[in-house]
Amino acid sequence: MRKLAKYLKPYIGPIIACVVLLFGQAMCDLNLPNMMSNIVNVGIQQGGIEDPAPKAIGADGFSFLQQFMDETARLQMEQSYHLVAVDSAEAAAYLDSYPALQNTDIYVQNTLDDPELEATADAYSRGVATIANAMKAVAGEQTTAVKADLENIDLHQLYSAAPMFEQIPKEVLQQAWEQAGLSDDSTNRQMGIAMTKAFYQELGVDVGKIQSDYILRTGLLMLLLTLVGAAATICVGLLASRIAAGTAKHLRHDVFQKVEHFSNEEFDRFSTASLITRTTNDITQVQMLLVIGLRMICLAPITGIGGIVMALDKSVSMSWIIALGVVILIGLVVVIFSIVTPRFKVVQKLVDKLNLVTRENLSGMMVIRAFGTQSFEENRFEQANRDLTKTNLFVNRVVVFMMPAMMFMMNSISLLVVWVGSQQIEQSMMQVGDMMAFMQYAMQVIMAFLMISMMFILVPRASVSAERIAEVLHTEPAVRDAEQPIHLNGRPSGKIEFRDVCFRYNQAEDDVLQDIHFTALPGQTTAFIGSTGSGKSTLINLIPRFYDVTAGKILLDGVDIRKIPQHELREYIGYVPQKGVLFSGNIASNLRYGSPNATDEDIRHSADVAQATEFIRRMPDGMETDISQGGTNVSGGQKQRLSIARALTKKAPIYIFDDSFSALDFKTDATLRHALKQDTGDATVLIVAQRVSTIMDAEQIIVLDDGKIVGKGTHRELMQSCKTYQEIARSQLSEEELA
C-alpha cells in the first residue's frame, strides 16, 4: 500500500478536512450520551436544578442551615450570599423571580467564579447532609431514603423544630458534620439539590418550569449536535468519495498508460485477463478501502479513546467491563484475520482465471460452436466460477460470523453494565443517567474496535490488490528508449539492415532466431517465408521494437533502432498485423487511426489501393458505416483490406505486412499486390507470407527454417539453390505456375 501512497498527495487538503470533520463528528457523538445522562440525572431526578447551592434562599432557611455548619462553612456562605430585604431598593429586581420576597427577606447568591462556586456548593451540600444526619440521630434511624425525605420535607415544620435541634449536644452535631464529610460528594450534592428544590418552592419559584426549561434546552442542544454530526458525516462521505474516485482515476490512467508502453515481453508475463482485472477489480478494491477507510481509520481511534475517557469519567470501577469486551473482540478479530487473509490472494487469482475463461469463450465463440464443444466450455466456465464462488463464500461466511458474535457480545456487555450499575445505584455510588451513559460509551468503544477490526478485513484484500497494481506500475518495460536517443532528421530512406541478429524469449533456453543477416532496401520488397514456427513473425516484430534483439543489431539508415525513440521509429512504419484488428467507430475513423490529419482523398486512395472501395460502396453509409467492436460486422478479408488501407494512409517509408493477405482470394491478392507495388514507390516493403504466389515478384525472398536463414534471393534463384523453398513452392504451385 505504501507504494501507492503518492497518489494521495494531491488530496492532502481534503484528507485533512476529513480528519477535522471526523474529529468534530466524534465529539458530537461522544457528547450525546453525556447530555442524555444530564437529562436523566439533572432534568428528571434533580428537577432541572444543576447547582447544589441555591441561587436564592429564604432568611429563615439561611439561618437554620448555618446552625449545622462549622465556622469555615458559615463564613463561606456569608461571603457567597448577600441579604435582600423586603423593603430594600434591590428587592424589585428579584421580585419576579422570587415572589416570596414580598413577605420575607431572602439571601441572593453573589456573582462567583468557578472555584468560589465549587467551595460554596461543597459547604452547602455538607450542611444539608449534616441536617439529614442530625434528623437520623433525633429519629434514631440507621438508614433511610434521605433524599426522598428532603424532597418532601415541610420547611415550616423543620423551622419550628429548630429549638429541638438546638438541644442536640454539640458533640452530636460535630459528629454529624464529620460524617457528612466522609460521605461521597455525589451523595451530598444530591441531598443539597433536594433541599434546594424545597427552598425554591418556599420562595414561590416555579420548579416545574425550571425542569421543563432544562430538558428542552438540553434536548435542543442534543438535536443541534446530532445535526452537526450528520452534516459532518455527509461532508466526510462526499470528500472520501471524491478522494477515492480521484485516486482510482489516476491509478487507472497510470496503469493503462504503463500497459500501453509494455513490450510483447510484458504482455507475455501479464495475461490480458489479469491486466483487465488489475485495471478494474483491483483498483475498485483500493477505491473501496479509501472510501470506507478514510472514515473508519480516523473515526475509530477518536471514538474509541474518547469513549474510554468519557466512560471512566462516569465510573472507574466498571472500566473492567470495557476492557473485557475489547479483549474478547481483539481475540475474535485475530482469529478471523488469520483465517481469511490467505484466501484474499486466492480470490484475486481466481478472478483472473474467471476473466480469462470468459474472454476466451466470448472471443472464440465461433470456434466453440463449430466444434460443438459448448458443453466442455460450459463445464470449464462452471469450474472456474465454482472455485471463485466457493472461496468467496468461505471468506464471506467467516466475516459474516463476526456480526452475530459482535451483537451477542454487545448485548452481553449491556446486561453486565446494567447488573453491575444497578448495584452501584443501590449503594448511591452512581446515578441512573450515568449508568445509561456508561452503557452507551461502552457500546461506542466496542463499535470503534469493531470498525478497526473491519479495517483489518478490508486492508489485507485491498493490500493484495494494491500489490498487484504496484507490480504493473513498477514493471520496467524490456523495450525502453535510450538515455541519449538519436533523432533522424527528416524522413528516412527506409533502409533496414539486420546484422547477426539473435533473439530469445524471456526465460527461454534457446534462441528462436539465430545469426539473421540481411538488408532490405528502399523501393524493393523483401519477403519472408518458411514453415510454421520458423520465426517469421518474430523477426518482423523486432523492427518496430515489439521485442528487442538479444544479440546483434538492427539498423535504420545506419542507426541502431534501439537508439531511436520508439514513438519516432513507429511513425516511420506502416504496420499490418497478422490478425487484423479494427476499433469501434466507423470505417473513416479506422483508416485515419494512424494518420489523424489524413484528408478524405487520402483515405479514399488508400482504400482503392487496398481493394476495399468496392465493398465500402456497397455498405449503407459508405465511409461512415459503423464498425462494431473488434470489427465483427465485416468479414476476415474485408478486415484485412481495411487494415492494409489504414497502414497505407500513413504514407510511411517502411511497410510491414505480417501475413496480411491470407484471407484474400488469389485474384484480389494479385490485384492488391500490383496496386501496392505502384503506390509504395520508394518505400521499403517487408512481407511475411505463407503463399508463394504472394511473394514470387519480390526483389528479395528470405527463407527461414528453425530460426535460421536457409535461403536468400529471388524466386528463380531460390528455386535453384534452396531445397526448403523448393519444397514449399512445389507443395503450393504446379511446375507450370513456378516457371
The one-letter code for the residue type at 284 is T
Backbone φ, ψ for residue 700 (5° rounding): -145, 125
CA distances from 241 to 234, 340, 478 (A): 11, 27, 37
C-alpha cell at 591: 483508416
pLDDT score of 458 more than 80: no
Q: What is the mean pLDDT of the chain?
A: 85
Q: At CB < 8 A and 24+ separation, what contacts does 386-392 make?
A: 387/350, 387/353, 388/347, 388/350, 388/351, 388/353, 388/354, 391/343, 391/346, 391/347, 391/350, 392/347
Axis crossing angle, helix 207-260 with helix 185-202, rounded to the nearest 10: 130
Q: What is the pLDDT of residues 50-82, one digit of tens each?
A: 888 899 999 988 988 888 888 898 999 999 999
Q: What is the mean pLDDT of residues 262-269?
A: 81
Confidence band for 540, pLDDT divided at 50, 70 and 90: very high
Q: Which amino acid is at 91?
A: A
If pLDDT is split at 50, 70 and 90, which confidence band does 140 have? low
- Are 76 and 110 a contacting pair, CB within 8 Å? no
Rounded Cα distance between 434 and 316, Å, is 12
How much is the pLDDT for 146? 43
pTM of model > 0.85: no
As a whole-number percent, the residues of the chain with pLDDT over 70 amount to 97
The one-letter code for the residue type at 277 is T
pLDDT of amino acid 147: 45
Average pLDDT on 211-227 reads: 92
Instruction: Identify the pLDDT of residue 529.
Output: 93
pLDDT tens digits, residue range 485-532? 998 888 899 999 999 999 998 878 888 999 999 999 999 999 999 988
Percent of the chain with pLDDT over 90: 24
pLDDT over threshold 70, residue 548: yes
Question: Which of 306 and 497 is assigned the larger pLDDT?
Answer: 497
CATH number of 2-20+232-473: 1.20.1560.10
**DSSP letter string over 368-436?**
HHHTT-HHHHHHHHHHHHHHHHHHHHHHHHHHHHHHHHHHHHHHHHHHHHHHHHHHHHHTTSS-HHHHH
pLDDT at site 687: 92
CATH 1.20.1560.10 maps onto the chain at: 2-20+232-473
Distance of CA 225 to the CA centre of its chain: 28
Q: Average pLDDT for residues 361-367, to the nearest whole number?
A: 80
Q: Are 625 and 642 in contact (CB under 8 A)?
A: no
Which secondary structure element, helix H or strand E, spans residue 113, and what is its range?
Answer: none
Closest CA to 581 of 656, 527, 522, 644: 644
pLDDT at 270 over 80: yes
- Is there a contact between 694 and 687 (Cβ–Cβ < 8 Å)? yes
